[in-house]
Amino acid sequence: MLDKNPGIVAGVNFLYRMNALVQEMKYRLKNGDIGKPILVHGSYLQDWLLYDSDYNWRVEKDLGGASRVVSDIGSHWIDAVQTVLDDKITEVCADMSTIYNIRKKPKGQVGTFSVSKDSLYKNRNVDTEDYGAVLFKMKNGIHGVFYVSQVSAGRKNYLNFEVDGTKSSMYWNQETADWMWAGFRDKYNKQVMRNPNLIPKEAGKYTSLAAGHPEGWNDAQKNTISSFYRYIMDMGKSINQKPDFATFEEAYYIQKVIEAILESYYKKAWIKIY
* pLDDT beyond 60 at 2: no
* pLDDT beyond 90 at 248: yes
Q: Per this entry, what is the length of the chain?
A: 274
* pLDDT beyond 80 at 70: yes
Given the DSSP bridges, would you call strands 143-149 and 37-45 parallel, antiparallel or unpaired?
Answer: parallel
Looking at the domain assignment, is residue 258 inside a domain?
Answer: yes
Q: What is the DSSP letter of 84?
A: H
Cα separation, 186 vs 203, in Å, equals 28
Instruction: Place 9 in a pLDDT band, splitting at 50, 70 and 90.
Output: confident
Count how many domains the chain has. 1
Chain-centroid distance of CA 173 in Å reads 11
Q: What is the reported pLDDT for 110?
A: 66
Given the DSSP bridges, would you call strands 179-183 and 121-125 parallel, antiparallel or unpaired?
Answer: unpaired
Q: For the chain, how are helix, strand and coil distributed in percent, rounded to 5?
A: 30, 25, 40
pLDDT (tens digit, 9 = 90+) per residue, 107-144? 876 666 666 666 688 999 999 999 999 999 999 999 99
User: What DSSP line would sit under 48-82, residue for residue?
Assistant: TT-STT---GGG-HHHH-S-SHIIIIIHHHHHHHH
Of the candidates 150, 139, 143, the one whose C-alpha atom is nearest the C-alpha of residue 96 is: 150
Q: What is the reported pLDDT for 215?
A: 97
Instruction: Place 4 in a pLDDT band, splitting at 50, 70 and 90.
Output: confident
Question: Which amino acid is residue 216, in one-letter code?
Answer: G
Q: What is the reported pLDDT for 235?
A: 77
Q: What is the reported pLDDT for 238?
A: 58
* pLDDT beyond 90 at 188: yes
- With vertex at residue 91, the alpha carbon angle to CA 44 and CA 79, rounded to the nearest 5 degrees, is 40
Q: What is the reported pLDDT for 249?
A: 94
Looking at the domain assignment, is residue 6 inside a domain?
Answer: no
Looking at the domain assignment, is residue 87 inside a domain?
Answer: yes
Q: How many CB atoms lie within 10 A of CB 61?
A: 14
- For 263, residues 6+ apart whose C-beta sits below 8 A from its C-beta are 271
Looking at the domain assignment, is residue 255 inside a domain?
Answer: yes
Looking at the domain assignment, is residue 167 inside a domain?
Answer: yes
Range of the domain at 249: 15-264
Looking at the domain assignment, is residue 272 inside a domain?
Answer: no
- Mean pLDDT over each residue of the chain, to the nearest integer: 94
* pLDDT beyond 70 at 175: yes
- Assign residue 70 the CATH number of its domain: 3.30.360.10
pLDDT (tens digit, 9 = 90+) per residue, 210-233? 999 999 999 999 999 999 999 998
Q: What is the reported pLDDT for 103?
A: 96
Q: Using H for helix, E for strand and C for coil, what is the string for 138-174?
A: ECCCCEEEEEEECCCCCCCCEEEEEEEECCCEEEEEH
Cα separation, 70 vs 228, in Å, equals 26
- The H-or-E segment that residue 238 falls in is helix 235-238
pLDDT (tens digit, 9 = 90+) per residue, 137-170? 999 999 999 999 999 999 999 999 999 999 999 9
Q: What is the reported pLDDT for 242?
A: 86
pLDDT (tens digit, 9 = 90+) per residue, 87-106? 999 999 999 999 999 999 99
Of the candidates 75, 155, 74, 71, the one whose C-alpha atom is nearest the C-alpha of residue 113 is: 155
The pLDDT > 70 percentage for the chain reads 93
